[in-house]
Amino acid sequence: MTSDLIKGIQSRERISIARAISIIESENEVSREILSAIFPFTGKAYRIGITGPPGSGKSSLTDKIIKSFRNQNKTVAVIGVDPSSPFTGGALLGDRIRMLNHHKDAGVFIRSMASRGGQGGLAQSTREVGDVFDAAGYDVILFETVGVGQVELDVIQATDTVFVVLVPESGDEIQMMKAGLMEIADVFVINKADREGANKLAITLKNLLSVLPNNPDVWKPKVVKTIAIQNDGIDELVQASEEHRKHIISTGHHHRKLKQRYIRKIKELIVSKFELEFWNDENQKILDKEIAKDRQKRLSPYQLVQKLHQED
Amino acid sequence: MTSDLIKGIQSRERISIARAISIIESENEVSREILSAIFPFTGKAYRIGITGPPGSGKSSLTDKIIKSFRNQNKTVAVIGVDPSSPFTGGALLGDRIRMLNHHKDAGVFIRSMASRGGQGGLAQSTREVGDVFDAAGYDVILFETVGVGQVELDVIQATDTVFVVLVPESGDEIQMMKAGLMEIADVFVINKADREGANKLAITLKNLLSVLPNNPDVWKPKVVKTIAIQNDGIDELVQASEEHRKHIISTGHHHRKLKQRYIRKIKELIVSKFELEFWNDENQKILDKEIAKDRQKRLSPYQLVQKLHQED
């Protein structure tokens, strides 16, 4: 049963891929089996993260990036990540509709992932769905997220190349972003670049980037201007991403990143198995009893941990 | 030795507090002893997180907030958090100098925490330094951070009330923030409110907030306009924070938050102890051997985890 599914994934059958994704989303035992079985076939896809504020035109841009890769005869999978929030509520999912453009193209697979409660889970299952596409042989996987929440950072940091999408009016946002998005961008995209301020923003960004050391081993983020709805600048953007890819491969950075992802996955699995076992009824009862006390009467966290270990 | 230090902390001796902080920053064994000993004296301070982009005037604002609380005869500790970054590099620490205003006031303690590598560690030690101030009997602890990185979110989410500081020109940033800062703000501060656009921004914010349910158990973030350098609006801001505090106490939200922090700390300690023990030389060697292989020849993470457990 599972082996049929794995074969289906490897022959890039849409129905098998869709089933595997559903299983991963439901997080049952089978999901681990599938992920384990496909592991040897992963690690080949090129993963690009696309992030930026709502209204920056990420969806049109993604649409055109798909086309550009398709023109190179590369297959593309797209994962839209939408941590549900009272403020963004579903905007991203709505945008996805525009991508129906590609629904007849067997070389493109588009999938949205929405959060249902556990947000740690969303970033993890997004990475796992990426592995399914990877094993299915998609050449490029695009991860599209909104903004800079923790889930988005988790998703984005597990990609090879990150596009941060801005608009000419974003000048002020740069300040805001300094501590957040600046660090993660490999390519800055100034979209809607026919609007006023595009050049000024490009200069601001280049000035900010000039503080980075001049070292061939350190990637200097590129700044690319696009007008997505006119398909302007898209090939340059895709080329910039490929330069970045070459850079991380030739410097060994890509290799190290894949290693780190492997180690991280191992450590996550080890910890989650341990926590599941540790927090059995007995230990949970000890914790519950302590919490029920007035705070001042509780054991300190350090004392309680000692007690929990003695019970073991 | 440690008991003298604990006594010193409890009598709010600056030298003891400073020593405890240094010990926490160096993360040695004694640090756990101190934190365990002071635990029963914590949980009383009011913790306020202050965040916003560079240039929004957070430092002047913090300065004036200190004064306002001091006028109410409350003692105040301030922790500036500065995850070092090639882009923000030390800007926050520079600002700190302005706070020399208060260095002769025994009721105020100001401390900066900078990251030295491990960023997970910075958020944790910031919370622990907060516990020292709490045990020392400071009435109010202000946590000042820049931007929306992961460390900042970790720090901010462990406070009782969060101020998000904006300037009138921040209108465009609101979009950017939607997915990040909107969720964490209890009070929006529009600083430099004598500049154009302050009212427009206030209306934008209130419109955004209007999507929140009308439920007395759900806090509707306040919007307060200030001109920090003229001390305008500061008392209103402090009052808004106290309303929020009353709200979280009366709805039981504060109680739940303290419980969650306790549980989180327990779980962190349990996991870090486990990881330390699990990753002994033997298991580390098994992992290293696997990583040294070509990726396609490695066991899947799930298989390797099984193997590691069998060795145990």
CB < 8 Å to A305, chain B: 266, 269-270, 273
Q: Which of residues 261-280 of B touch A (CB under 8 A)?
A: 262-263, 265-267, 269-271, 273-275, 278
CA triple A69-A71-A73, angle to 5 deg: 75
Over chain A (312 residues), what is each successive 10-residue block's mean pLDDT? 91 95 85 93 95 82 95 95 56 52 84 64 88 97 79 83 88 54 86 93 87 84 96 97 97 92 92 92 96 92 91 64
Q: What distance in Å separates the CA atoms of residue A64 and residue A67, rounded to the nearest whole number?
A: 5
Looking at residue A282, its pLDDT comes to 95
Which class is B41-251 in CATH? alpha beta
Q: What is the pLDDT of residues B27-36, one digit of tens each?
A: 777 898 999 9
Q: What distance in Å separates the CA atoms of residue B223 and residue B113, rounded to the nearest whole number?
A: 29
B179 touches chain A (CB under 8 A): yes
Looking at residue A177, its pLDDT comes to 53
Query: Domain A42-251 falls in which CATH fold?
Result: Rossmann fold (3.40.50)
> Around Cβ A236, how many Cβ atoms within 10 Å?
16
Entry field: residues in chain B:
312
Looking at residue B89, its pLDDT comes to 45
CB < 8 Å to B258, chain A: 295
B252 touches chain A (CB under 8 A): no
Segment (H or E) for A140: strand A140-145
Q: What distance in Å separates the CA atoms of residue B282 and residue B311, rounded to the nearest whole number?
A: 9
Q: What distance in Å separates the CA atoms of residue A178 and residue A163, rounded to the nearest whole number?
A: 15
B295 touches chain A (CB under 8 A): yes
Beta-carbon separation of B176 and A53 below 8 A: yes
Q: What is the DSSP letter of A40?
A: G
A118 touches chain B (CB under 8 A): no
Measure CA A151 to chain center: 8
Closest residue to B308, CB basis, from A88, A170, A270: A270
Which residue carries 């969720």 as its tokens? B183
Looking at residue A304, its pLDDT comes to 95
Contacts of A47 (CB under 8 A, 6+ apart): A130, A134, A140, A141, A143, A158, A159, A160, A161
Q: What is the pLDDT of residues B224-262, one digit of tens each?
A: 999 999 999 999 999 999 999 999 999 999 999 899 999
Beta-carbon separation of B291 and A262 below 8 A: yes
Interface-testing mutation among A87, A183, A210, A212, with chain B (most B C-beta atoms within 10 A): A87
CB < 8 Å to A39, chain B: 298, 300-302
Tell me the sheet residues that pair with A108. A76
A249 touches chain B (CB under 8 A): no
- The SS3 assignment for B225 reads strand
The domain locations on chain B are 41-251, 279-311
Q: Are A188 and A205 in contact (CB under 8 A)?
A: yes
CA distance A13 to chain B (A): 22
Looking at residue A180, its pLDDT comes to 57
Contacts of B78 (CB under 8 A, 6+ apart): B62, B66, B99, B108, B109, B110, B111, B141, B142, B144
Closest residue to B287, CB basis, from A150, A263, A274: A263
Look up the ipTM and state it: 0.81
Segment (H or E) for B240: helix B234-250
Q: What distance in Å separates the CA atoms of residue B149 and residue B49, rounded to the nearest whole number?
A: 14
> Around Cβ A291, how many Cβ atoms within 10 Å?
16
Looking at residue A295, its pLDDT comes to 87
Low-confidence ranges of chain B (pLDDT < 70): 1, 83-100, 115-120, 147-150, 171-181, 311-312
Which residue carries 């419980």 as its tokens? B259
Distances (CA, A) of A59 to A68, A82, A150, B219: 14, 13, 21, 33
